[in-house]
């Protein structure tokens, strides 16, 4: 998948990572998945996520892939970004998950 770019490309800037616990009661389901992908899309950086320790990273801008993660309540989510605004992307996404996908904007 195109997230392999994260592993190989070093030309576009530094990779940043973060880890956060998913406290949402039903896990990473439709509403949280939509919020997460919408926020990820605001950044230029390639952003990938996975459930901690999982083999594959998936594109954090794809709602279909994020749903397919089936991340459960209480699981640890790893976030990784590469590109100009990678650090800001990781910070914003970690905050979103940690704050349990708040209703009012950001």
Partner 1 sequence: MRADAARLAFRGRTASIGFAHGQFVRVDAGASGKRAAGSPAEEAEAFRNAAHAASRQIAELATVAGGEAAQILEFQVALLEDDEFLDPAFGLIDDGVAADAAFSRIVDEQIADYNSAPDEYLQARSSDLADLRDRVLRILGGGESRSLSVPQGAVVCADDLPPSRFLEIDWSAGGGLALLRGSPASHVAMLARARGIPMVVQLGSVPNASVALLDGEGATLELDPGAEQIGLFERRREVHRKNRASARAILRRPAASWRGERIRLLINIQRVEDLDHVDAQYADGIGLMRSEFLLDGRGALPDEEEQYQAYDSVLRWAGQRPVTIRTFDAGGDKPVAGFTPEREANPFLGLRGLRLCLSRPDIFAVQLRALARAAVRGNLKVMLPMVTAPAELEAARKLFAEAVASLQARGVAAMFPELGIMVEVPAAAMAIADFKAAFFSIGSNDLAQYVLACDRSNGALASLMDPLHPAVMELIARTAEHGRRSGASVSLCGDMASDPRSIPALLDCGLRELSVNASALAQIKQTIDRLSSGGSGG
Separation of alpha carbons 91 and 69, rounded Å: 21
Catalytic residue among 29, 46, 73, 106: 29
Q: List residues binding partner 1 (CB under 8 A).
A: 21, 23, 25-26, 29-31, 33-34, 37-38, 59, 61-65, 67-68, 70, 72-75
- Shortest Cβ distance from residue 87 to partner 1 (Å)? 24
Closer residue to partner 1, CB minimum distance, 2 or 11: 2
Shortest Å distance, C-beta 59 to partner 1: 6
């Amino acid at each position: 998948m195109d997230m392999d770019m994260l592993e190989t490309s070093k030309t576009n800037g530094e990779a940043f990572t973060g880890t956060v616990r998913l406290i949402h009661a039903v896990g990473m389901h439709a509403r949280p998945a939509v919020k997460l992908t919408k926020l990820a899309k605001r950044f230029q950086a390639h952003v990938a996520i996975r459930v901690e320790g999982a083999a594959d990273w998936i594109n954090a801008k794809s709602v279909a892939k994020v749903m397919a993660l089936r991340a459960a309540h209480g699981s640890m989510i790893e976030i990784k970004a590469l590109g100009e605004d990678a650090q800001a992307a990781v910070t914003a996404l970690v905050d979103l998950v940690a704050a349990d996908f708040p209703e009012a904007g950001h």
